[in-house]
Homo-oligomer: A and B are copies of this chain.
Amino acid sequence: MSDTKFTSYRLTEETRGVFIISATPFKEDGALDLESIDRLIDFYLEKGVSGITILGMMGEAPKLNPEESKAVMKRVFARVNGQVPVIVGVSNAGMDNLVNLAHSGMELGAAGVMVAPFAAQKTETALFNYYESVCEALGLDVPLCYQDFPLVTGVNISVECFHSMVDAFDQLVMLKHEDWPGLSKLTQIRNSAEKNNHRKVSILCGNGGLYLPQELGRGADGAMTGFAYPEMLVQVCDLYHSGEIDKAEDLFDLYLPLVRHEQQPGYGLAVRKEILRRRGAISCAATRAPGPKLSKQDHVDLDRLMSRLESRLAVGS
């Protein structure tokens, strides 16, 4: 039974911190590894994350069937047990599927949902109309995070279009920012909101955290990504937000070789899961087929990068 803080929490424009994108653990044969979910959630919580996002692209959501998605949700919510808010990724080619998944999540206690556009939204008008339909279908009380990830979705959104959505849809309270390059866009969103009186939404940054210090400097509220050393993300955000900018960046730079290594599209997921496995957070690093695998040489690179990180952390401490 849960009587903790976040069981009825809803995302707002004030939400900030590190929402870790949770991996979805599988066994060698591709079956869901529900036991590892418990361990992984504990791992994330121990590292101090402010929230957890499940069933995102990095969670291999498109390879799950709806029953598996629900099984993952139940297990996660049971383990999190209200300790932090949970966002559910519900992007789907079909509106009904999207809504069903979203409502299942909200009933279990989700703080909101994340939706990415897809290629059918060819113009910004089409994009706006799609999110209008999404908001209507979800219902007004489901907080929404817009995932801006053109490298994968192929859909770009201008600051103007994003703000027209913010103006029109009260439930749109968060932006997952992973346009690339995206620093100017971040500044433009913040400036335009102030200048033109748009609501100032929560902005959490993705792209594996590759530009996190710069993004915090541009007004981001934190990170939403799945880097396998969540403690770095947490500490960098904390240091930054408490004004210790150089320390934040010093710490970040120690991890940067690994951040960059994990940030390789597609392949990086295999790296991330292997690091999580080595750190004891999951039992098996397998991605579901079709998915990337590490070769012997890949392991050698990873050994080296992890060991160099450990040495540097040891010196630093």
Contacts and interface: CB of A to CB of B under 8 A. Distances in A.
A249 interface: yes
A108 interface: no
B256 A257 contact: yes
B290 A157 contact: no
A280 interface: no
A78 interface: no
Given A96-B288, A123-B156, A66 B65 contact: yes
A63 B137 CA distance: 15
Contacts of A260: 210-211, 256, 260
Interface in A73-97: 93-97
A130 interface: yes
Nearest to A245: B304
Contacts of A297: 183-184, 187, 218
Interface residues of A, number: 60
Contacts of A168: none
Contacts of A261: 211, 214
Contact of A126 (B63, B158, B214, B256): B158
12 contacts: A63-B93, A66-B66, A94-B288, A95-B289, A96-B289, A123-B157, A124-B124, A126-B158, A181-B264, A184-B298, A211-B261, A260-B260
Given A63-B97, A95-B289, 13 more contacts: A65-B66, A65-B94, A65-B100, A123-B156, A124-B124, A130-B290, A181-B267, A183-B297, A183-B298, A184-B298, A211-B260, A217-B300, A260-B260
Interface of A: 30, 60, 62-67, 93-97, 100, 120, 122-126, 130, 133, 137, 150, 156-161, 180-181, 183-184, 187, 210-211, 214, 217-218, 249, 253, 256-257, 260-261, 264-268, 288-290, 295, 297-298, 300-301, 308
